[in-house]
Amino acid sequence: MKRIGLIICVVVVVLSSCRRDLYDPDNTVFRYNEAANISSLDPAFAKDLPNIWACNQLFAGLVRLNDELKVEPAIAKDWQISEDGLSYTFNLRTDVYFHNDESFADGIGRRVVASDFVYSFNRIVDPKVASPGLWVFSQVENLNGKYAIETINDSVFKINLSQPFTPFLGILAMQYCAVVPHEAIEFYKEDFRNNPVGTGPFKLKLWKEGVKMVLTKNEHYFESIKGKKLPYLDAVSITFLADKQAAFLHFVQGKLDFMSGIDASYKDEILTKRGGLKPKYQDRINLVSQPYLNTEYLGILVDDLTSSNPLRMKKIRQAINYGFDRVKMMKFLRNNIGEPGLKGIVPKGFPSYNQDADYGYSFDPDRARKLLVEAGYPDGQGMSPINLVTTAEYLDLCEYIQHALGEIGIKVEIDVSPPAAMREMKAQAKLPFFRASWIADYPDAENYLSMFYSKNFCPTGPNYTHFNNSLFDDLYESSLIETNDEKRFELYAKMDSIVMEEAPVVILYYDQVLRFVQPNIKGLGSNPINLLDLRKVEKINYK
């Protein structure tokens, strides 16, 4: 193993030193790798980051979030919100067209009109579609099964809510809310997933699943900057190398333009223990880093545990939370990229975040052992092994937790599953104990707390643990109609404390956006939800 690592380091150094000579001066293709694969290009199923990234290039909605997570216009040029907060009226641009596609009568994409949004939103809430984004419209007024989504005229679109909901505008920036043409849905039916027709800056050229995807410039995209039409790139090329070490080697060779996140296989090659670039890469790679609205956790399906499963007991779940050292885990396994998960489910970055919150778990093995005694399993005696499902990317973290919990008597067995299979099993509530993450979809802590609302059970909502607590539900419903920020934040804190007390999750860490970018890539920003936006990216080729 040491010899293989030495060979890799030598290859990396050699390839890095000659990388500039490998650029094609005529190449304006942005290239990145997606190790977790892409399961669908239908925005109705854009529930995971790989799908979200791809759909963000192909589709557009009424509004979008900028890098500061402020809502800005997209297809809607402006909007009005009624004084009572119940009515949202959007004025649409008149120069937005769907991609050219054979689903249209003449093969030419037609103009987007208000009725397209009515169709697209009603499609999301249609039970037959079974979109995981159905919950997005839970605040929209619903009279006898008909949602209050209406067309005023071709350029004006209106939504009525059943009650005021401050985060609603940010929710509409999610990929679930992208506009799609009824012609393409009717033409392709279930195959719309691999025949996407949108209004985004790029359109699909090629998708060989598990191998490669190519998106090409949409010549009729509606946005421009100072008279120069977007996007600047000619194409986007996505590969699907599952081996992240191989993808890293491709990056240092210059075969990839961008790499997101860090993996155990190469973290010590490129990063110092403090999370910065090692000296030999500092003039070869640009590193962009910032807090990430992403909480990494272990989830427990609390309503589907058999009598023999120790996780059915709250004290066992709490013992697991106390049973491993998150600070040490972050130092040695993550090179201090991110912060230990010592607080609640809501990460730093929201106005409602409370650094001084007294709920959460720190390393306390004595307290964990005491909880085991109280649960009837002193030193873990008589306790059945607990099965934890994860992907290969997080195996090192799970093995660390496995070892630490073993020291106090909790036996954990680890199953490694492919990312796509695990996502599907989690969405269908088939995993009793699993590693997961939650990335904010919109800039409000309600997004995280919605994961524990009993009416949001998966597969039609984001409650993957099937947590059900009447006090939590009451507080959650109160927060939805509370317009005073200070009072709403207090409700958020109470809900977060309930989740930590009942422990349907084990918080691992709060992540950090980490983007490695080739120096000839310009205009690639960064944001707290790690959304990939390629509209304004330029590739400056070496001569």
The whole-number pLDDT of residue 343 equals 93
Mean pLDDT of 314-341: 95
What share of the chain has pLDDT > 90, as a percent? 80
119 and 158, same domain (yes or no) = yes
What pLDDT score was predicted for residue 542? 61
Percent of the chain with pLDDT over 70: 94
Residue 205 falls inside a structural domain: no
How large is the average pLDDT for residues 182-199? 97
| Model pLDDT for residues 506-539, shown as the tens digit of each residue | 999 999 999 999 999 999 989 999 999 999 999 9
Alpha-helix residue ranges (DSSP H) falling in 408-464:
419-427, 446-449
Whichever domain contains 365, its CATH number is: 3.10.105.10
CB of 213 closer than 8 Å to CB of 207: yes
Question: What is the Cα–Cα distance from 15 to 13, expressed in whole angstroms?
Answer: 6
260 and 325 fall within a common domain: no
Identify whether 318 is part of a domain: yes
Domain span including residue 68 = 43-189
Establish if 231 belongs to a structural domain.
yes
Answer whether residue 168 shows pLDDT above 70. yes
Residues 296 and 343 in one domain: yes
Q: In whole angstroms, what is the distance from residue 503 CA to residue 525 CA?
A: 36
Query: Does residue 388 sit in the same domain as residue 273?
Result: no
pLDDT for the residue 144: 79
- Give the relative orientation of helices 314-322 and 365-374 as an angle to the nearest 10 degrees: 170
Q: What is the pLDDT of residue 482?
A: 87
Query: Residues 433-469: pLDDT tens digits?
Result: 999 999 898 889 999 999 999 999 988 788 999 999 9
Looking at the fold, whether 123 and 228 belong to one and the same domain comes out as: no
Q: Are residues 144 and 228 in the same domain?
A: no
Let me know whether 147 and 81 are in one domain. yes
Q: Identify whether residues 234 and 169 lie together within a single domain.
A: no
Average pLDDT, integer, range 137-153: 90
| Residue 325 included in any domain | yes
CA angle (479 as vertex; 473, 484 as ends), nearest 5: 165
**Number of domains composing the chain:** 3
CATH number of the domain encompassing residue 108 = 3.90.76.10
Going by pLDDT thresholds of 50, 70 and 90, the confidence category of residue 109 is very high
Find the mean pLDDT for residues 135-146: 88
Q: Are residues 81 and 19 in the same domain?
A: no
pLDDT range class, residue 345, cuts 50, 70, 90: very high
Residues 63, 104, single domain; the answer is: yes
| pLDDT tens column, 48-67 | 999 999 999 999 999 999 99
Indicate if 455 and 503 belong to the same structural domain. Answer: yes
